[in-house]
Amino acid sequence: MESESSSIKVDLHVHSEGSYDCKEPVELILEHADDTELDAIAITDHNSIEKSLEAKEKAKNYDITVIPGVEVSTKNGHLLALGVETLPEKGKPFMQTVDRIRNLGGVAVVPHPFQTTRHGVRKSCIDDIDAVEVYNSWLFTGWKNRKAKKFANEENYPETAGSDAHSITMVGKAYTEINTVFSDKEELEYKEILEAIKNGSNHIYGKRKPLHLSAWDYSKAMARKTAWGMRETLFLPLKIEKMLFKRKK
């Protein structure tokens, strides 16, 4: 079939029941994405890829393409690994994880950058990246989205948008429209989509999450971060003791 120039709508940041903070089954997500006339979605659970691979297989029963992926917790913040079918190891330095994603044939995208309350990566950690998420529907004031867009423009990185959906109603609230040449729009291959994203022919569309829900999510995120900090403080003496014991051996 001849190639055709067209545009597609892709939500590049969606969570499923594979994430600890989401309970939506992949079948329901696929059905909703199909109903909202998205052409493709990326299932990007936290440090888990099983449901994303499941969605990729089940997408054959829907008029939707699934990009396999994961939201990896690096040492320096979260990172979207799009187009990977092997789980990158979490807890590694940011740029080391970027290299690992590329070696796996994937595309590395910085999600919600600079949003430290949500494990966003700081600018100083980003030496090279494939794309920057400049619109994330989990916004409170929108300032960090604007900061991300400014950074992407200054560094000439391709821009993406994602709903960061943790509930079915948010799927497709933000999406990336990609204008390029596809071999067959009716049977999109996710690798074609990834190549188009890196080429930068992208337009961003999005609606914010309702303010009261964003406020609630931010409060939960802060509570988790505080709990993590307290846990690290409480166990610090034990970690030091273990390190000293290893040195003595």
Same domain, 170 and 187: yes
Summarize pLDDT for 96-141 with one digit per residue, the tens: 999 999 999 999 999 999 988 889 999 999 999 999 999 999 876 6
The model carries a pTM of 0.82
Summarize pLDDT for 184-224 with one digit per residue, the tens: 766 789 999 999 999 886 788 877 655 445 444 445 444 54
Convert 88-97 to b/e letters by CB count within 10 Å (16 or more is b).
Answer: bebebebbeb
Q: 198 Cβ partners below 8 Å, 6+ apart?
A: 107, 130, 131, 158
Sheet of 77-82, strand order:
159-162, 131-136, 107-110, 77-82, 65-74, 40-43, 4-14, 174-182, 202-206
Q: Tell me: pLDDT of 1 over 60.
A: no
Domain extent for 235 = 211-249
Of the listed ranges 8-22, 30-44, 92-106, 206-220, the one predicted with least confidence: 206-220
Looking at residues 1-6, what average pLDDT do you find?
57
Same domain, 32 and 121: yes
Please state, in angstroms and rounded to a whole number, the distance separating the CA atoms of residues 35 and 126.
Answer: 37
Structure tokens at 205: 């569309």
- Give 51 or 185, the one with higher predicted confidence: 51
Same domain, 243 and 193: no
Q: What's the pLDDT at 142?
A: 80
Same domain, 201 and 238: no
User: Coil, strand or helix: which one is 243?
Assistant: helix
Same domain, 12 and 90: yes
Identify the helix (H) or strand (E) that includes residue 5: strand 4-14
Same domain, 85 and 140: yes
- Structural domains in the chain (count): 2
Residue with tokens 């406020």: 215
Same domain, 117 and 181: yes
- Tell me the CATH number at 148: 3.20.20.140
Same domain, 112 and 218: no
Same domain, 163 and 218: no
Cα 55–chain centre separation: 16
Q: What's the pLDDT at 102?
A: 98
Same domain, 215 and 205: no
